[in-house]
Amino acid sequence: MSVISYYDQVAAAADFIRGQSNALPAIAVVLGSGLGDFASRLGNAASFSYQQIPHWPASTVVGHEGRLVIGDVNGRRIAALSGRAHFYEGHDLRTVTFATRVLGALGVKTLILTNAAGGVNTRFNPGSLMVIDDHINPMGSNPLIGPNEERFGPRFPDMTEVYSKRLRRVADEAGQAIGVTLEHGIYVAWHGPSYETPAEIRYLRMIGADAVGMSTVPEAIVARHMGVEVLGISCITNFAAGVLPQPLNHEEVLATAQRVRGQFATLLEVIITKV
């Protein structure tokens, strides 16, 4: 029995979505922990569980529904991913970034990556929204390791501007339009699933980190490999380890994300309108 290649798996998933959709998106949003409600705001929507889409990895983390919704936001056709696969679930990074590959294959030109993150910068309070200016990757791996598929992108893609300056300006304009001040900073992808130690947070602060999470960076790398423009936004859901004399827990992350979800959804809608 022949083994289907990774490229053909991506193509099969993209073909399935094309066959089920009357219009394809040029913009996609990946929704982080507790932020998936945005997908329910789309009009004229087609919705698929990840299990329906060939080769698409399941989303098993609490706060990640595991659903792709294609619909309209103020006349713009978008795809919203309510949930993502994570490295800490035991997937390799090709699996973690499978959805990003499919979005690129569908013709998505703009990808908005969102996440829930811990605040390393002590100026950031829980509930703050941070535009990602750049990232640091101490995950110990890279999604582009292995044979390069030239149909996806070049062997050595440039990462000088992973997060688009243009889209960061659009995000700031959108924030001003709705009266929300956005923070800016550097995001670190920690592979998890354990939260960082206070010593690790002190180290991350020393090397320039403002927020830390367990996603986003592999997706951003793969999107840029495919020539997709990227915007990253973190919802700061908690202070990182050692900032306060209390333990960290996922329930706090979800509770803070739920508290700001309306504001966050409005910001996304305005950004999408302006892109």
- The one-digit pLDDT tens for each residue of the chain (275 residues) are 567 999 999 999 999 999 988 788 999 999 987 676 788 889 988 999 999 999 999 876 654 578 999 999 998 999 999 989 999 989 999 999 999 999 999 999 999 999 989 999 999 988 899 999 999 999 999 999 999 999 999 999 999 999 999 999 999 999 999 999 999 999 999 988 998 899 999 999 999 999 999 999 999 999 999 999 999 999 998 776 656 656 666 676 677 777 777 888 899 999 999 99
| Residue 18 pLDDT | 93
Could you read off the pLDDT of 235-273 as tens digits, one per residue?
998 776 656 656 666 676 677 777 777 888 899 999 999
Active site residue 55: no
Could you read off the pLDDT of 200-225 as tens digits, one per residue?
999 999 999 999 999 999 999 999 99
Of 14, 64, 130, 189, which is the active-site residue? 64
* DSSP three-state, residue 66: coil
Query: 3-15 burial by CB neighbour count: b if 16+ within 10 A, else e?
Result: eeebeebbbbbbe
Of 148, 203, 250, 252, which is the active-site residue? 250
Q: Are 199 and 149 in contact (CB under 8 A)?
A: no
| Residue 243 pLDDT | 67
Active site residue 33: yes
C-alpha torsion sign, points 161, 275, 87, 124: positive
Distance CA 148, CA 6 (A): 11
Active site residue 238: yes
Of 33, 115, 121, 128, which is the active-site residue? 33
Residue type present at position 66: G
Of 11, 79, 130, 214, which is the active-site residue? 214
Of 210, 196, 31, 190, whose CA–CA distance to 130 is shortest? Answer: 210
Residue type present at position 184: H
| Residue 41 pLDDT | 87
| Strands 129-136 and 183-189, sheet pairing | parallel
- The Cβ-side half-sphere exposure at 169, using a 13 Å CA radius, reads 3
Distance CA 96, CA 85 (A): 5
Of 50, 215, 265, 269, which is the active-site residue? 215
* DSSP three-state, residue 88: helix
Distance CA 147, CA 274 (A): 37
| Residue 250 pLDDT | 66
Asked if the 6-274 domain carries CATH number 1.10.8.100, the reply is no
The alpha carbon of residue 79 and the mean position of all alpha carbons in its chain are separated, in whole angstroms, by 13
| Residue 256 pLDDT | 72
Active site residue 215: yes
Of 80, 238, 257, 269, which is the active-site residue? 238
Please return the burial class of 109, using the count of CB atoms within 10 Å of its CB with bins 0-12, 13-18 and 19+: middle
User: Taking the CB of residue 23, how many other CB atoms lie within 10 A of it?
Assistant: 11
Active site residue 86: yes
Active site residue 64: yes
C-alpha torsion sign, points 10, 34, 273, 170: negative
Distance CA 254, CA 210 (A): 20
Of 6, 7, 88, 203, which is the active-site residue? 88
C-alpha separations of 83 from 78, 100, 152 in Å? 16, 12, 23
Of 21, 26, 65, 89, which is the active-site residue? 89
